[in-house]
Amino acid sequence: MQNRILVFIGFLALLFISGCSKFRKIEKSEDWRVKYEAAINYYEKKDYYRSSVLFDQILPIVRGLPEGEKVQFYLGFCQFYDKNYLFAAEYFKTFFTTYGRSASVEEARYMHAYSLYMASPGSNLDQSASIEAMISMQDFLNRYPQTSYLDKAVEVINNIQVKLEKKGFENAKQYYRTRSYKAAITAFDNFKKNFPDSNLHEEADYLVIESIYKLAVQSFQSKQKERYQQVVDRYLEFLDKYPKSKFLNPAEKMYADSIIQLAKLKNVNS
């Protein structure tokens, strides 16, 4: 059994060496047509690395020829399938700016935006790339409102909006965690304006109440009346909006204490 395994491994090694040797010969060929046909063949076999190497070598030669369009287009997909998404985006962008009348322009524009989307980071990181991807995809939809990629394009935009929503909420929550309560209040209020349909509004509203309350507790007396009153006002709004909220009990405790503190402050000032 062990001998059979060794023979099989040796056979695979020979195939690999043979394949590498063949590829090296093609690479050294001075006939761009040989490289072109081999690159197409590698692409069809899903060997995107070798395909892209050969396509890249002949790209300056075939630019301006009928084959140039296909080479540029295939290079984008080679990079995309090898998960080099930013390179893919650049190849697709070059394609639709160079071959503006091609029948493949629509697909190239979609793949440009989709590649940017695939390259965008998770919601815990900077979202500049995600915003760029969303703008590109929206531009694509504006150009091709009846596109066959409509559902996929809308899904991409929705997914990016979810990431931006999470990032916006986490940014606001980070101010809260670091006890920067003034910044947290502003950030949560801005979050609600920027994402009016978010299902995180309830928690954001609660954390605003808590931030104002904690700010009031640590404030000078001259500021406490205003801030405790804000806790009362925000709580009453919260109660109207979320009468069955899971945050209602802790919010109510802050509301009750704020009423007590307001009464004390009134007595001090009277």
Model confidence pLDDT, tens digit, residues 20-61? 678 889 999 989 999 999 999 999 999 999 999 999 999 999
Residue recorded with tokens 């986490």:
170
Task: Single out the residue of 234, 236, 201, 196 nearest to residue 215, CA to CA.
Answer: 234
Q: What is the reported pLDDT for 13? A: 42
Mean pLDDT of 228-253: 97
> What CATH number does residue 256 fall under?
1.20.58
- Whether 53 maps to a domain, the answer reads no
For the CA atoms of 133, 135, 137, 138, the dihedral, rounded to the nearest 10 degrees, stands at 160
Q: Does 168 have pLDDT greater than 60?
A: yes
Number of domains the chain is built from: 1
CA dist., res. 71 & res. 23, Å (int): 18
Q: What are phi and psi of 127, to 5 degrees?
A: -105, 20
Q: Does 15 have pLDDT greater than 90?
A: no
Instruction: Please state, in angstroms and as integers, the Cα–Cα distance from residue 138 to each residue in 42, 119, 131, 133, following that order.
Output: 34, 17, 10, 9
CA dist., res. 149 & res. 132, Å (int): 19
- Whether 108 maps to a domain, the answer reads no
- Per the CB < 8 A criterion, the answer to whether 73 and 108 are in contact is yes
Q: Does 106 have pLDDT greater than 50?
A: yes
Residue 46: its H or E element: none
Q: What is the reported pLDDT for 22? A: 87
Half-sphere exposure for 258 (CA within 13 Å, toward CB): 27
CA dist., res. 226 & res. 215, Å (int): 11
Q: What are phi and psi of 180, to 5 degrees?
A: -90, 75
Whole domain around residue 211: which residue ranges? 183-270
Task: Single out the residue of 168, 83, 85 nearest to residue 124, CA to CA.
Answer: 168
Q: What is the reported pLDDT for 207? A: 98
- Whether 116 maps to a domain, the answer reads no
Mean pLDDT of 170-183: 96
Cross-strand bridge partners of residue 65: 63
Q: Does 156 have pLDDT greater than 50?
A: yes
Mean pLDDT of 211-221: 95
Residue recorded with tokens 């945050």:
247
- Whether 201 maps to a domain, the answer reads yes
Give the chain's length. Answer: 270
What pTM, to 2 d.p., does this model score? Answer: 0.79
Q: What is the reported pLDDT for 220? A: 92
3-class SS string, 18-41? HHHHHHHHHHHCCCHHHHHHHHHH
For the CA atoms of 21, 22, 24, 27, the dihedral, rounded to the nearest 10 degrees, stands at 180
221-241 vs 248-269: helix crossing angle, rounded to 10: 150
Whole-number percent of the chain with pLDDT over 90: 84
- Whether 104 maps to a domain, the answer reads no
- Whether 246 maps to a domain, the answer reads yes
Q: How confident is the model at residue 238 (pLDDT cuts 50, 70, 90)?
A: very high
CA dist., res. 235 & res. 233, Å (int): 5
- Whether 39 maps to a domain, the answer reads no
Q: Does 266 have pLDDT greater than 90?
A: no
Whole-number percent of the chain with pLDDT over 70: 92
- Cβ neighbours of residue 105 under 8 Å, at least 6 residues apart? 95, 96, 99
Q: What is the reported pLDDT for 10? A: 41
The first and second tokens of residue 18, run together, are: 């043979």
- Whether 225 maps to a domain, the answer reads yes
Q: What is the reported pLDDT for 64? A: 87
Mean pLDDT of 149-155: 97
Whole-number mean pLDDT of the chain?
91
